[in-house]
Copies of this chain bind each other. A is one copy, B any other.
Amino acid sequence: MNIPEEVKIKEVGPRDGLQNEPEIIPTEEKINWINALSNTGISYIEISSFVHPKWIPQLSDAFEVGRGIIRNPNVTYAALVPNSKGLERALAVGIDEVSVFMSASETHNKKNINKSIADTFPVLKEVAETAKQEGKTVRGYVSTVFGCPYEGDISFNKLLNICDKLFEMGIEELSLGDTVGVADPLQVSRLIKDLSDRYSAQKFALHFHDTRGTAMANVLAAMLEGINTFDASLGGLGGCPYAKGASGNLATDDLVYMLHQMNVNTGVNHHKLIEAAKLIQRSLAKSLPSRQMQLISHEEVSQ
C-alpha cells in the first residue's frame, strides 16, 4: 500500500468545529482548549475567524482568543479572514497564516459570502497580497468541491479555474472541502489524479466531513494519491449546516488513531489529544461524536 510516511493534520476545531455550536463558549475556555491543543504535538491550529462578529457570534472573540493563547513556536496559528478589514484584525493579533475562502459552486458562494465567484477573486487577491507583504503565508479554502447542496456536481474545469486563480495570487495551499459530506473514495481518487496533471499533490489539503460516513475512506483514497495534509476537528466537533445535529467534520482523534495504526507519522500524541478533547467536551457539556470519544466515554462509564 503506497501511502505517505508522514501526514500533517491541520486542526480546525476551534474555527470550523465551533462555528455551528449555538452555545457561546467563554473566551477563557477557548484559550485553555487551544493551549491544550498546542501541547499535543499538532503543528497547525486554526484558532478562529475574523469575519464580521454578527456573522458568527460564537467567533466574535477572535481577537481576544488570538491575544490570549500561549504560542508554541512549533505550531502555526491560523485564522479565517474574509476581507481586508478582517485581515487588519488578524494581523494586529499576529496570526501566522491567513485563510481565505470561497466556494466552487456559484450558488453556494453567493449564499455564503453574498458575491459571485468572479467578484470574490479581487477581494481574496487583496487579502492575499497584503498578507504576503506582511510576511504571512496564505491558505485558500475551496468549499463544495465534491458536491453542492444547491447545484449538485461541480464541473472539474470550474474547479481548475478557481485553483489557477488562487495559486496565481500566491496562495501556498488549497484546502478542498467536502462541505456537505457527499464525497466518495472513487471521486476523491479521480479528482486528485486529474488535479495532479497540473499541480503537485503537495499543494492540496483535503477537508472531509463525515456526514454520510465516508470521511475516513476518503482520507485513505487521498493518501493513495499522495495527499499528505488533512483538515480535521478534534472529537468530530462541528455539524453539517444543512442538517443540524448530523455528523460534521472528520475527527482528529479518529484520524490520528488510524494513521498511527498504519505507521504513518503525525507528530501528534494521541493521549494528549484525548485530554484536549475532554476539555472542550466539558465546555460544551455534551459528548463529542468521534468514535474515540464515544468509546472512551463508554469505557469510563462501564469501569
Residues of A within 8 A of B (CB): 1, 3, 182, 184-187, 189-190, 210-214, 216-217, 219-221, 240, 243-247, 251, 254, 257-258, 261-263, 290-292, 294-295, 298-299, 301-302
Q: Point out the residue from B261, B294, B302 that lies within 8 Å of A184, measured CB to CB.
A: B261
A-B contact pairs, 9 of them (CB 8 A): A186-B262, A186-B263, A212-B258, A212-B292, A220-B220, A244-B301, A245-B302, A246-B294, A247-B291
Q: Are A1 and B186 in contact (CB under 8 A)?
A: yes
Q: How many protomers of this protein does the assembly include?
A: 2
Q: Point out the residue from B211, B219, B263 that lies within 8 Å of A291, measured CB to CB.
A: B211
Smallest beta-carbon distance A51→chain B, Å:
24
Smallest beta-carbon distance A286→chain B, Å:
14
A244 / chain B contacts, CB cutoff of 8 Å: 298, 301-302
Q: Are B291 and A212 in contact (CB under 8 A)?
A: yes
Q: Are B243 and A189 in contact (CB under 8 A)?
A: no
**8 A-B pairs closest in CB distance:** A213-B254, A184-B261, A213-B291, A245-B298, A186-B262, A216-B217, A246-B295, A217-B220
- From known contacts A217-B216, A245-B301, A299-B243, infer whether A291 and B189 are also in contact, taking CB-CB under 8 Å: no
Smallest beta-carbon distance A249→chain B, Å:
13
A263 / chain B contacts, CB cutoff of 8 Å: 186
Q: Point out the residue from B190, B213, B247, B292 that lies within 8 Å of A216, measured CB to CB.
A: B213
Docked Cα-Cα span, A220 to B216, in Å, equals 10
Smallest beta-carbon distance A7→chain B, Å:
13
- From known contacts A214-B216, A217-B217, A295-B211, infer whether A186 and B243 are also in contact, taking CB-CB under 8 Å: no
Q: Are B258 and A214 in contact (CB under 8 A)?
A: yes
Q: Are A243 and B213 in contact (CB under 8 A)?
A: no
Q: Point out the residue from B182, B190, B247, B295 that lies within 8 Å of A243, measured CB to CB.
A: B295
